[in-house]
Amino acid sequence: MTTAVDEAHIAPREGGSTPPSRSRRREWLVALAFLAPALVLLGALVVYPMIYTLVRSFYSARGDHFVGWDNYVAMFTSDTTFTAIRNNVIWVIVAPITCTCIGLVFAVLLDRIKWSTAFKLIIFMPMAISMLAAGVIFRGMFQEDPDIGVVNAAIVATKSAFTNQAAYPGAKPRPDAGIVADSGIIATEGDVTAGDNATFPLVGIRTDALGDNPTQASGPPQPADAEVTGTVWLDFVRGGGGVNGQIDDGEWGLPGVRVDAVAADGTVAGTAHTEDDGTYVISGLDPGASYRIALPAANFTEGATGVPWLSSTFITAVVILSYVWIWAGFAMVMTASGLSAMDRTLQEAARVDGASEWKVFTRITAPLLMPVLIVVFVTLIINVLKIFDLVYVIPPGNAKPAANVIAVEMWTVSFGGGNDQGLGSALAILLLLLVLPFMIINVRRFRQEREQ
């Protein structure tokens, strides 16, 4: 009996019109037995729920009466769901293309380095960790306070490196010391002749603006004929004491303050920055000419502050960036495997003919890679449409509405307190409809591959 069944297996099969023999039927039963667990699970937990959700999307929040298209209308008219849909559109436009392009560039450059395996592992590693962990990482990185968030720390450090200025917000001239404040600028009351000096006793500065190791202020250096010298210092002794307008022990110099010598016609004739002890020397002036010595307003404006990355304005950009950090590795690995499977003779021939690397890439390599790139792109689109974890984790409470996407909104209205499973079902169906074209692409690709 078993032999007969097994022979039926190997026997060539022709035509399906004849009624199935007993052994054929037994064979079907065996196949069914192998398929049964999968069919039951898929039927009960994927296919049946899909139909249920479709029907449910036409019923009210609690499911007790039929509401027609109301849930779908609500979806596009309510502000929160509409923001979610709009954000999903932004995601789909930006994220897959960015990941695919970065992946392509990395894959092409990989060929030229000797440590390509290490590089691949580094870029690909984020794929292994949870989006939750990635979310915690990015939320930490993009904290607004430049003392905590590494991104703003880098931005602030770069800014202050290029402007090379210390900031002393809130500084005011010591009254009756011969200097005045005028629309942010602090300047000498009268003119100063070259070869003289001008001192700037300031108050109102928070001592922590001075850094970790403030230096005792010194008196002005002896000026030459073409120089104006002076000291800019914090005219304040901790714990009291000292004489106003005079450099006392325990008073600190203000380093990095810009000092300008302004000529009578209003032009800046010379400029200098103060040393650690607060002293400055402006040289190259006309001996005997008079100048107004001024500390420009830039010294006293707030120092460079962090960008509020996690606010409504930037939040989607930050979350997309975290997605790129994770998925660029996927695009790179897929593209690199496409490249390594490629026959390179065409490229070699073109190079021998004197084609530039750029031409070889755009005319030969890129077109040959297209099928792989399309697979990567489609996979990423399907994935991005369903994005949940990152958007759920990264935005702090006040930026959540601005960062919303369909999958998160679906969770919120159905399970996260919204209590409207009718609208939730409609949102789920919307996701399904958005994925549908890409399902069709997948099926087509599968059919084509089988025909080859």
- The reply on whether position 423 binds another protein by CB under 8 A is no
Beta strand pairing call for 179-182 and 185-188: antiparallel
Q: How many CA atoms lie within 13 A of 126 on its CB side?
A: 23
- Residue 437 amino acid letter: P
Q: Which of 223, 255, 306, 424 binds another protein (CB under 8 A)?
A: 424
Of 12, 19, 34, 343, the one binding another protein by CB under 8 A: 34
Tell me the closest approach of the beta carbon of residue 129 to another protein, in angstroms: 5
User: Residue 8: what are its φ and ψ, rounded to 5°?
Assistant: -60, -30
Q: How many helices (H) and strands (E) does the chain have?
A: 16, 10
Region near another protein per CB under 8 A, out of 48-56, 200-208, 273-281, 311-319: 48-56
Q: DSSP letters along 8-28, please?
A: HHHS----S-SPPPHHHHHHH
Which residue, 47 or 264, has its beta carbon nearer to another protein?
47
Which of 161, 243 has the CB closer to another protein?
A: 161
385 binds another protein (CB under 8 A): yes
Does 261 bind another protein (CB under 8 A)? Our answer is no
Applying CB under 8 A, does 153 fall inside the site for another protein?
yes
Residues 6+ apart with CB under 8 A from 49: none
Coil, strand or helix: which one is 233? Answer: strand
Where in 320-349 is the site for another protein (CB under 8 A)? 325, 330, 333-334, 337
Site mask, another protein, residues 91-110, x = CB under 8 A? Answer: ---------------x--x-
125 binds another protein (CB under 8 A): yes
**Alpha carbon distance 220, 224 (integer Å):** 12
Residue ranges in 350-369 that form contacts with another protein under rule CB under 8 A: 354
- CB of 94 vs another protein, minimal distance in Å: 19
CA distance 245 to 205: 15
Whether 259 contacts 299, CB under 8 Å? no
Given candidates 58, 72, 361, 438, which one binds another protein under the rule CB under 8 A? 438
Picking from 228, 246, 248, the residue whose alpha carbon sits closest to that of residue 238 is 248
Nearer to another protein, 248 or 389 (CB): 389
* Sole binder of another protein in the list 123, 318, 339, 399 (CB under 8 A): 123
Among 31, 97, 264, 374, binds another protein (CB under 8 A): 31
Query: What's the alpha-carbon Rg for the chain, to the nearest Å?
Result: 36
Residue 75 DSSP symbol:
H
Options 86, 93, 97, 140; binder of another protein; rule CB under 8 A: 140
Can residue 383 be called a binding residue for another protein (CB under 8 A)?
Answer: yes
